[in-house]
Structure 1
């Protein structure tokens, strides 16, 4: 029997639950306790393996302090469509990163930097680092180019 592939919208909603939970620094166990379910059930919701019912989604929204529409919002708060989020296997790298603990922490820290010049230099640094596969094997030319980018 073939393994059931989760619905793209269930995966998207689960990812939004995970992102909000991490933003609030809630563990899966804490969220599960608040909902009266097991942490394994929270894991299944977050992966999209189990569909979240309407009443449960309302309770999750209340616990996480957001309206239920938060779990369906995309760019410009347009309703979720499968065309807007792609298929389960093609979930875009940026969306996955933004839902990770590192992505959330990086974004929360970055928005606290008030100087636009400093923010631009950070973006330039990250872009320069991304162009080099292994920072330990950078050539002097790579280092010079990075210094020009950061200092210019």
Structure 2
């Protein structure tokens, strides 16, 4: 018997819970305490493996001081059964701890000029990293040929 895959909408809602929890600086344990559940249940909600009831979602929204609709933002692209939430690299990177930490720090920068400069710097670093990885791959291929 194969395990049932989580519903894409449950995954989306759970990822929005996780993102909001991180942005407000709350642990899974603290959220669980406020909801009267275990932190393991919060983990299941965030992964989409346990469906969040309407009343529980309203309570979570109250804890985070957001409207319930927050958890459904950008849901249209996630509504199809074939949707893979990690296929969109931008969304996936925002759901990592590094991505959320970067975003949390970035939005606190008041100067638009500084934010634009940081964006350009990150783009340059990413391009340089891509080039370096390509160079490493070519070097490894050459070394492999030499040893044969």
1:2-13 equivalent positions in 2, closer than 5 A: 2-13=2-13
Q: Cα deviations across residues 95-119 of structure 1 (Å, max 9, x unaligned)?
A: 1222333222222322333333332
Counterpart pick for 1:82 among 79, 98, 105:
79
Matching residue of 2:48? 48
Q: CA deviation at 1:90?
A: 4.4
Q: Which runs of 5+ in 2 are unaligned?
A: 136-148
C-alpha spacing 1:67/1:86, structure 2 compared with 1 (3 Å): farther
Determine whether 1:126 maps to 2:122: yes
Counterpart of 1:109 in structure 2 is 105
CA RMSD of aligned residues (A): 2.7
User: Is 2:38 the counterpart of 1:38?
Assistant: yes
Cα gap change, 1:66/1:86 in structure 2, threshold over 3 Å: closer, same or farther? farther
How does the TM-score come out when normalised to structure 1?
0.75
Structure 1: runs of 5+ lacking an equivalent: 140-152
User: TM-score, normalization: structure 2?
Assistant: 0.77
Q: Would you say how many aligned residue pairs link Structure 1 and Structure 2?
A: 134
